[in-house]
Structure 1
Amino acid sequence: MTALTLQPVIVGAGPAGIRAAQILVAHGVRPVVIDEAARGGGQIYRRPPAHFARNAQTLYGTEASRATDLHNTFDSLQAQIDYQPDSLVWNAQGGLLDVLHGPTQTTHTVPYQQLIVASGATDRVLPVPGWTLPGVYTLGGAQVALKFQGCTIGRNVVLMGTGPLLYLVAYQYAKAGAKVAAVLDTAGFADQLAALPGMLTQPAVLGKGLYYVGWLRAHGVAVHTGVRPVHVEGDTRVNAVVWSDGQAEHTVPCDAVGFGYALRSETQLADLLGCRFAWAPMHRAHLPERDSAGRTSVAGVYLAGDGAGIMGADAAEWAGERAALALLADHGVKVDAARAAELERKLTHLMPFRQGLERAFPFPTDWAAKAPDALVVCRCENITAGELRACARDAGADEMNRLKALTRVGMGRCQGRMCGVAAAEILAQATGKPIEAVGRLRGQAPIKPIPIHLQAQAEAAE
C-alpha cells in the first residue's frame, strides 16, 4: 500500500490529533479528521467562536504561543484534510464509524481502515453531598465556559478537588476578574513535598505550577490543602461549601462550585473498537493497551494522547506524531526512524514527572468509606451510595457490570463517564476487594448522548 492509497481517520483534533494529521499530510496522505468541537485545538487549547475578539494571551496565558502554533498548524492543513467539525463519533462497528453532525442533528457513517483515536480526557468526578445543585460544575466545565464563551460559572467561586487543573482554573478565573472564594485541595503539603524529586525532572512545568499557587496567594486567594469537602449548601442554588481540615468544619459562602479530581481518559470508543484493556495502577483505571508507538491490540487502530492515559499536552503532541509514523510504517511508507525513536524517548522521560504528579495530588482513597449512604452517585438514574452498597451486600454484586444490571448505575445519559469512577470505588469499599478487581463498565453505544430519534433509527436498521 502506498501513501496515496491510505485513507486514515483521526478522531479528535486536540494536540494529539493535530500532530497526527500534520505528519500524515507531510507524507502525502489525506486523512479524515472528525472533531466534536467547532474548531480544532482540543480542551486545553479550546478556541472560542470565530467572532470572539479575545486574544491568545488572554485565553491561554503562558501557553499562548503553544496554542497559537497548534492552531496555525491545523488551519494550514485545512485544504489537505477532510475536516468534519461539530461531529461526534457515537458508535463504531464493522469498519464504520457512526457520526452525529451537531448543527443539523443528522447522522452519517465514515468508513475506516486505519484509525487514530485521540479522544482526550474528561474530569474524574467524586461526588459530594449537594453536587446536583444548580451552580455546581466540574473543573473542566468551568474552564470551557471561560475559554469558549468568555464567561465564568459564578461571581464568587469555590474550586475544589485536587490535581494541576485545580490551580490552573483558579488562576485563570482570578485573572479573568472572578472572585475565587477559596481553593480547597484534598492533597496535603506532605504529598507535594514527597513528590518533588519526580517533579524536578521537568523544572519548567514545576515552576509554572508554583507560579500559579504563588500568584493566587499573593492576590489574596485562600488556598487550603489537606482538606475534605463535606457538602455543598443551597436550596435552589449553591450558596456555600462546607469543608473540614480534620479538626473542625469551615463554611465558605459562594454562588458556584467547580470540582474534580484530576482527569480520566475517554476510553469508550477504544472499547467499542475491541481494544484489549489492562489495569494501569498509576492512572487508577483500566486503560486500552498500546505499545510505545500507539499500536493497540486491534490491527489498524492506534491510540494517542490522554485518551490512552493522562500525560498532558506535550506528551499528546509527541504521541500523536508517533502514532502517525507507526501507521505509515505499518503500511509500507518510509518514515524517519530516528525521529520515531526520539519521540519514544521523550515520552519515556516524562514518566518520572507524571509519577510525581500522582504523588503530589494523590487520589483520595478514603473517599468511598466516608461517602454517606444518601449521596447521589449516579445523577442520571438517581442512584445513591447506599443503594450500591445494599446491592453488593444483598445481591452479591461484586463486579461493575453486575452492579449496573441490578441498579442501573451508568445506564443514563453519561453512560458511566461521570459516575463510573465513583461507583467502582463504592463497590470496592463495600466488597473489600481491590479497586482493580471490581472491573470496569463496558462501553456501549451511544458513547455520548444523541437525539433519541437517531438512536431509534439506528436500532431499527440493525
Structure 2
Amino acid sequence: MAEPVVAVVGAGPAGLRATQVLVEAGLCPLLIDEGHRAGGQVYRRPPPGAERPASDLYGFEAGRAQTLHDLADALAPRIAYRPGTMVWSIAKREPAGFALNCLGPQGHGRIAADRLVLATGAMDRALPFPGWTLPGVFTLGAAQIALKAQGMAIGRRVALVGAGPLLPLVAHQYAKAGATPVVVLDVTPVWAKVRAAPRLAAMPATLAKGVWYMLAGALRGQPVRAGVRAIAVEGTSRVEALAWEDARGRRHRVPCDAVAASFGLRSEAQAADLAGCRFVFEPVTRQWQPERSPEGRSSHPLVYLAGDGSGIGGADVAELQGERTALTVLADLGRPRDAAREARLDRLLARQAGFRAALEAAYPYPHHLVETIADDEIVCRCEGITAGALRRAATERDAHEMNRLKALTRAGMGRCQGRVCGHAAAEILARTLTVPVETVGRLRGQAPIKPIPLREPV
C-alpha cells in the first residue's frame, strides 16, 4: 500500500522541523513554500549571489538560522520540494484528502494530498494612522525583508514605530546595517514592561537578548520613546517627517524619508479556513485563529497546525510545534509513538507559553490608536474605504457582522482579501456598535487567499 501524501505548507522554522521528523520516519513529504529559499520570514535567506554573513543578517540568531538553512539544504533531495510556490486555494478531494491549487515556477497546477501540515506563519498587524498610505511607509516586517533579501534599507533617515518585541530587533538590525533610525517609537507604556519583567525572567537568555537590543540602542544614542499616544506621517507625495504625541501630551516632530510601523503580528490562517478548520477567538492578541490542540491537531482530522499561523509564539515555539505536530501525524498514521520525546516537547512548549503570555503583557494591545482613527482615514487601501464609511454602515445600514460589513462597503474585497484591513475594520465596527470585538466575527476565507495573475506566466 502506498504511503499517504503529507503536504507541509510553509518552510519556516515550523515547516522545516515538521518535514525533518517525517523524513526521519521514512516518509517523503511534500514541502510547499512561497519563498524561493527555505527559512521563512524570521530566517529569510538572501537570493543566490547576494549572500552576507549570517551574523550581519540574524544577530544572536545567526547560529540557529544557519542550522535551519543547512537542514533545508539537506532535506531538499529527500522530499518533494516546491519552492517559489503559492497555495492559493484548498478544496476537499473525494473520498478523502485535499486538492491544493498552486501557482509556481511552472504556472498554475493542482496537487493532491492526503494530510496537511499548515505552517503558514504570520504577518504584521496594521492599524491606520494619518499618512500611513504615503509612499515611503512600510511595515516593520517589510523593513526586515529589505535588509535580509535585498541588502538595503527602506530609507536614509528611517523612523520606526511598533507595539511588540519586533521593534527593538528591527532598530538593532538597521543600526548594525549602518542605517541608524532617527527615532524609535513604542506605543505601549513602560509600566507594562516593568510589571511583566518577573515573568519574562523565567527565560533569562531570551530576556537578556531583548534587553541587550535596547541597551545597545541607548549606547548608540538612538532616540527611543515609549508610551507614545499618537503618530502622524507628514508629506505631500512621500514621507517627509513623523510627528507624535508623547505620554505627557507633548507634540514632537522629526524629519525622515521612510517610516516602518507595525502593531504586533497576526496569524496567516486563510489556508486553515479553506481546509475546513474551526476557529476560536484569542482575547489577548484580539484575533481569530484556527483551533489547535497541544499535540498539533486542528478540528479537521486530516489537518495539522504548527507555528505562528495558528497562534503567535515566535520562532522558538514554531520549531518545537513543528516537531511535536509531526510526531502527532506519525501517531495518527499508526507509527510507533515516542512518548518520552513527546513529553519533553510538551514541557518545553508549556514553558514557552508562559513566557509568551508575559511578552504579550509587556506589549499590550494599543487600544488608544484605534479609538482615535478619524472618519476620513483610509482603512481598506485596496478599495479606498474610510473609517467613516465603516461607521455609517454600522449605524445606518445595520452592518453588525464583518461579512455583512464587507458586502455593504467592499472593505476586504481587494487584493489583500482583508489580510491587512480586516483587523482594523473589526475593531472599528465593534467600537461603533459598543460590543466586544469577537461578537462581530471575522471575514470568511475566500480563494484566492493571495493575489494571482489571471493567466499563467509565460
Amino acid at match of 1:96: A
Choose the corresponding residue for 1:383, options 382, 385, 389. 385
Match of 2:24 in 1: 26
**Residue 283 of structure 1, CA deviation:** 2.2
**Residue 79 of structure 1, CA deviation:** 1.2
Choose the corresponding residue for 1:272, options 271, 274, 280. 274
Deviating more after overlay: 280-289 vs 294-303: 280-289
**Residue 238 of structure 1, CA deviation:** 0.2
Counterparts of 1:210 and 1:355, CA distance in 2: 18
Amino acid at match of 1:307: G
Match of 2:95 in 1: none
**Structure 1 residues without counterparts, runs of 5 or longer:** 456-462
Is 1:73 the equivalent of 2:74?
A: no
1:298-320 superposed Cα distances (whole Å, 9 cap, x missing partner): 11100000000000111100100
Amino acid at match of 2:313: M
Match of 1:113 in 2: 114
CA contact (8 A) 2:122 2:266 kept: yes
Counterparts of 1:317 and 1:53, CA distance in 2: 24
**Residue 52 of structure 1, CA deviation:** 1.4
Choose the corresponding residue for 1:92, options 90, 93, 100. 90
- Equivalent residues in 2 for 1:178-193, closer than 5 Å: 178-193=179-194
Amino acid at match of 2:100: L
1:202-241 superposed Cα distances (whole Å, 9 cap, x missing partner): 1111110010011011101100000023311111110101
- Equivalent residues in 2 for 1:43-442, closer than 5 Å: 43-94=41-92, 95-101=98-104, 103-104=105-106, 106-245=107-246, 246-442=248-444
Matched residue of 1:290: which SS?
coil
**Structure 2 residues without counterparts, runs of 5 or longer:** 93-97
Deviating more after overlay: 333-342 vs 112-121: 333-342
Matched residue of 1:377: which SS?
strand
Counterparts of 2:454 and 2:130, CA distance in 1: 31
Amino acid at match of 1:171: H
1:50-84 superposed Cα distances (whole Å, 9 cap, x missing partner): 11131111111111000001111111111110110
Is 1:12 the equivalent of 2:10?
A: yes
Amino acid at match of 1:204: A
**Residue 452 of structure 1, CA deviation:** 2.4
**Residue 349 of structure 1, CA deviation:** 1.0
**Residue 186 of structure 1, CA deviation:** 0.6
Matched residue of 1:96: which SS?
strand
Structure 1 outlier segments of 4+, above 4 Å = none
**Residue 454 of structure 1, CA deviation:** 5.8
TM (norm. structure 1) is 0.96
Q: Percent identity?
A: 53
Counterparts of 1:212 and 1:63, CA distance in 2: 13
Size of the aligned set, in residue pairs, is: 451
Structure 1 pair 454–444 and aligned structure 2 pair: CA distance change class (3 A): farther
CA contact (8 A) 2:90 2:271 kept: yes
Amino acid at match of 1:316: A
**Residue 342 of structure 1, CA deviation:** 1.2
1:363-403 superposed Cα distances (whole Å, 9 cap, x missing partner): 11232221111111010001011110011010111111110
CA contact (8 A) 2:230 2:369 kept: no
Counterparts of 2:199 and 2:438, CA distance in 1: 25
